[in-house]
Amino acid sequence: MPEPASAAAEEFGRRLRHRRQAKKLTQLDLAYQAGATLSAISKYENGQVLPSINTLLNLAYVLEIDPGKLISKLQPDTPPTERLGR
């Protein structure tokens, strides 16, 4: 399995998988209902990438959860000020 893109992506994936399983949906079910691909859902759950805002909203709608629950308190690996060289 490929390495997670970041700690934030890994945690988001864990939350997404947990909620999907709690709703008794397969990855394919979630992909179809959210208008995403099976590959994308797999990548989200494995922490390889984070979804766009639009996709996040679609996923949250299908999973009947506030999108904030999926992303709250996620921390970037590098603070923005370090990325800007400050």
d(CA 33, CA 79): 34
Domain tally for the chain?
1
| 34: in domain | yes
- Cβ-count burial 33-71 (b if 16+ within 10 Å, e if not): ebebeeebbebbbbbbebbeeebbebbbebbebebeebb
The model's pLDDT over 19-40, given as tens digits with 9 standing for 90+, comes to 999 999 999 999 999 999 999 9
| 13: in domain | yes
| 61: in domain | yes
CATH code, domain with 12: 1.10.260.40
pLDDT score of 80:
59
| 15: in domain | yes
| 51: in domain | yes
| 32: in domain | yes
- Tell me the residue range of the domain where 57 lies: 7-66
pLDDT score of 85:
61
| 45: in domain | yes
